[in-house]
Amino acid sequence: MATLSRHIPVFHNVTSVSLTSSAKRSIASLLSPRAQYCVGEQLSVQVDMRNHMGELKSYGGDFILARIHSPNVMAAASGSVEDLRNGSYHVNFTLFWPGTVEASLLLVHPSEAVFSLWRARQQGYDKISYTGTFVNGSRQEKSLCNFRLSSNKTLCKYTDERGEEYYTCLKPPSLACESLTNFTSSYTQGSFFSDIENQLLKRDNIGVLIQNDFQAIEVLECDGATHNRSRLCEPGHISPLPSGYFLAKKWFSSSCHTGSFLSADSISRCLQGKTLYLRGDSTVRQWIEHLERTLKETGHFHPEKG
């Protein structure tokens, strides 16, 4: 939590939306602009944030996403954003491919909205109430539960140290804490945000393009200036930022050589004699479904279900 919180902007009391960061009034400029660039070099951009009145901001904390892209060759890569904490930002891109390259920077949330979201996250435990059901044989008792409970009564504490998850319930009148069986929840209507904060979080104010004062740049394959990847990708390899880029619908690592597994035969050769364990969210599920469609003889099972 401490590592994450250092990225959260310092609170500034905002009395008007006009005083918050505006993508349309802000400007992105090239640092040390040149007539041409070479593959493998860095492209550096400075973003000077202004509010809706056109005034320069004096503090940072804005959530900015940056990328370079070349639509004609279907190429794109992300950039790294450095917050100078004074209203300006440095954005660095690695030029991975030759051709005409455009830079796009999006203001996802102004710093004021970032802080509001962080504050709401920290105090957001009282909008949903949980009731725990404790069962022992035919005996059943219910009790109040939540992530944080402030009470002088005896508490049942449930801890998952590996996942750093903590939960508590008021101890039921006669049953043991270990007899907790399930939860039900109920939602309390209301908002953690002020009217101004709600305006900042409207869809039209999320992910707005910051204006560039420069055109697309030309990147050449210069002698002696290349992007080198000296090693094969392997488990445990720590990737830099960005970890890779897309070119012609293919993803390439920025630091090591990856294989190309676009056909069923190449995928089969790679997986032959191996058991693949996939763990994750819906993106992993899509990979599983893709492999099943591509490799007709491939199946999967859930270890917890057998």
> What single letter denotes the amino acid at residue 229?
R
User: In this predicted model, which residue has the larger pLDDT, 23 or 7?
Assistant: 23
User: In this predicted model, which residue has the larger pLDDT, 163 or 221?
Assistant: 221
74: left (phi over 0), alpha (psi -120 to 50) or beta: left
Question: What pLDDT is stored for residue 104 in this prediction?
Answer: 97
* Tens of pLDDT, residues 138-151: 999 999 998 878 78
Question: What pLDDT is stored for residue 303 in this prediction?
Answer: 53
Q: What is the b/e burial string over 203-224, where b = at least 16 CB atoms within 10 angstroms of the residue's CB?
A: eebeebebebeeeebebeeeee
User: Does the domain made of 2-117+197-220 have the CATH classification 2.60.40.10?
Assistant: yes
Mean pLDDT, all residues of the chain: 88
User: What is the average per-residue pLDDT within 159-171?
Assistant: 85
Flag whether pLDDT at 1 surpasses 50.
Answer: no
For residues 219 and 101, the answer to whether their CB atoms sit within 8 Å is yes
> In sequence order, which residues have a C-beta less than 8 Å from that of residue 24 and are 6 or more positions away?
208, 211
Question: What pLDDT is stored for residue 142 in this prediction?
Answer: 95
Measure the CA–CA gap between 51 and 233, rounded to whole angstroms: 44
In the sheet with 21-30, reading across from the earlier edge strand, the strands are: 80-83, 88-94, 42-51, 21-30, 211-212
Flag whether pLDDT at 306 surpasses 60.
Answer: no
User: In this predicted model, which residue has the larger pLDDT, 207 or 188?
Assistant: 207
User: What is the average per-residue pLDDT within 86-103?
Assistant: 96
Burial class (CB in 10 A: 0-12, 13-18, 19+), 116: buried
Which run of H or E residues covers position 298? none
User: What is the average per-residue pLDDT within 103-112?
Assistant: 96
Task: Find residue 141's DSSP bridge partners.
Answer: 134
* Tens of pLDDT, residues 218-248: 999 998 766 666 678 887 878 888 889 999 9
Percent of the chain with pLDDT over 70: 91
Question: What pLDDT is stored for residue 16 in this prediction?
Answer: 94
Question: What pLDDT is stored for residue 2 in this prediction?
Answer: 41
Which run of H or E residues covers position 207? none
Sequential DSSP letters for 113-152: HHHHHHHHHHTTTSSEEEEEEEEETTEEEEEEEESS---S
Measure the CA–CA gap between 143 and 121, rounded to whole angstroms: 25
Flag whether pLDDT at 296 surpasses 80.
Answer: no
Measure the CA–CA gap between 197 and 206, rounded to whole angstroms: 12
Q: Tokens 């043991």 — which residue?
A: 176
DSSP 213: S
User: In this predicted model, which residue has the larger pLDDT, 225 or 200?
Assistant: 200
Q: Of 17-21, 199-203, 289-293, which range is least confident?
A: 289-293
User: What is the average per-residue pLDDT within 284-291?
Assistant: 87
pTM tops 0.85: no
Task: Find residue 140's DSSP bridge partners.
Answer: 135
User: What are the boundaries of each domain within the chain?
Assistant: 2-117+197-220, 125-187, 260-306
Measure the CA–CA gap between 45 and 80, rounded to whole angstroms: 10
Kindly report the number of other CB atoms within 10 A of residue 136's CB atom. Answer: 14
Flag whether pLDDT at 181 surpasses 60.
Answer: yes
Peptide bond connecting 242 to the previous residue in cis, omega within 30 degrees of 0: yes
Residues in the chain: 306
Measure the CA–CA gap between 24 and 148, rounded to whole angstroms: 41
Sequential DSSP letters for 215-267: --EEEE--TT------SB--TTPPP-SS-EEEETTEEEESSSB-----SHHHH
